[in-house]
Structure 1
Amino acid sequence: MPSYAIEELLISSRPGALVAGVDEVGRGAWAGPVLVCAVVTDLSEPPAGLTDSKQLSPGRRDALFESVTSWAAGVGYGEASHEEIDTLGMTEALRRAAHRALSALPVRPDFVILDGSHDYIGSPWPVRLEVRGDSASVSVAAASVLAKVRRDTYMASLDCPGFGFDENAGYPSPVHQAALAESGPTAHHRLSWSYMDDLPRWKHLKKHRDPLVGEGQLSLFG
């Protein structure tokens, strides 16, 4: 289970420091925004059962959402739209979403624990990378749950019959793949991604980004 070991280590180097845990959701989706959540805690006992969102059922995540929100000392959300992802690439989109999330906090953190091995946040926040941080840090685990529930709820609210966004949240799935092949991309899809190359009827809609900007993306068939 996550603990405060990383938070306490950072605070020991600067007594009184505030630490934010940061996690993202939506990086690998074909549709919708990428969303980043930042959470600051007062190191109090977290809600029972809080852990990495991927280890929790949808029902358990939903049940934790309100309790984590009310327990946290500060919560900030930031997102980058599918248009920003198409224009800027995922790394820059993540950076912007993270800066928006951190700027939305009611307090300014002195340190940031970022889940993963790549610092997409950068200056001006001192970032500590933590692989599997959502399993190790209470703050990051809280951010992972809040980010997942918030984005899933948004994707389920979109009026896109047949795409199964209430189940797949815009990520690759057989239902999503079949709907794309039949109906083409919706107004919420990332049109620069390589899955568009696998849609003969719709590939003329693909957006082409400067090859020096952004990263390779998932194709429709793997």
Structure 2
Amino acid sequence: MPYEPPTHRVERSIRATTGAKIVAGVDEVGRGAWAGPVTVCAAITGLRRPPADLTDSKLIPEPRRSALAEELGGWVTAYSLGHSSPEEIDDLGMTAALRLAAVRALDGLPTRPDAVILDGKHNYLGPPWKVRTVIKGDQTCVAVAAASVIAKVRRDALMAELAPQYAEFAFQENAGYPSPVHRAALEAQGPTPLHRLSWAYMDALTRWKHLKRTRIEPTEHEQIDLF
């Protein structure tokens, strides 16, 4: 394994310092895509030894990533997915859309977590959730890594299911992210109902840029007390 496996160090710290008994790891996928939802997974893993090869989903090649996601589905204590649609992303802006998807994921868990480990440096979740942000949490924290893999595989599968409706865009290959095929299809046919119309790529589409929506820019991140 070319990387250090994730651990329960952060979760143990949270449990020890706050008394939290249930800690969920949260990660997102689809933030930088041109099309499709942004997807958030919340996973509760406890302190058990994780399956082999678990790390940030981007570091795991296919087909191991899909096999690992299936394995994680039976290994985690619980997990839940939340999505924000392209329309919600355009209406709310990405920060608020991420928060919406994360709340949907957390609300879908059978038990409300006492605390959340959120991948990255920005707390887009906020109160009333007790959040610990961890840069590269998807590589270092077991629960966040599990959420990363499940979110990636499930969103990729969703985009593959939608691909036959928009064959020229090859969503089964690019999952809605930028690619030469994706860009060529946009230039020829314009955006689909799956596309985020407030994204900057619309500026380069001469025939279609009149469809661009005004993007809601996120405000400065609020100072949220972390523990």
Shorter-normalised TM-score: what interval? over 0.9
Following superposition of structure 1 onto structure 2, how do residues 119-138 of structure 1 map, counting pairs within 5 Å?
119-138=123-142
TM-score when scaled to structure 2? 0.91
Alignment coverage as a number of residue pairs:
213
State yes or no: 1:166 paired with 2:172.
Answer: yes
Q: Secondary structure at the match of 2:169?
A: coil
State yes or no: 1:177 paired with 2:183.
Answer: yes
Match of 1:214 in 2: 217
What code does the residue aligned with 1:57 have?
Answer: P
Q: How many angstroms apart in 1 are the aligned matches of 2:133 and 2:19?
A: 20
Q: How many angstroms apart in 1 are the aligned matches of 2:217 and 2:105?
A: 21
State yes or no: 1:191 paired with 2:194.
Answer: no
Matched-pair contact (CA < 8 Å) for 2:14–2:20: no
Show CA shifts across 1:136-161 (max 9, x none): 00000000000000100001111211
Identity of aligned residues (%): 58
Match of 1:144 in 2: 148
Show CA shifts across 1:54-88 (max 9, x none): 11012111001111011111101111000000111
Change (3 A) 1:214 1:35: same
Q: Which runs of 5+ in 2 are unaligned?
A: 220-227
Q: How many angstroms apart in 2 are the aligned matches of 1:116 and 1:66?
A: 25
Match of 1:6 in 2: 10
Match of 1:68 in 2: 72
TM-score when scaled to structure 1? 0.93
Match of 1:219 in 2: none
Runs of 4+ more than 3 Å apart: none
Match of 1:21 in 2: 25
Matched-pair contact (CA < 8 Å) for 2:20–2:114: no
Change (3 A) 1:208 1:14: closer
- Which of 188, 191, 211 aligns to 1:205? It is 211
CA RMSD for the aligned pairs? 1.3
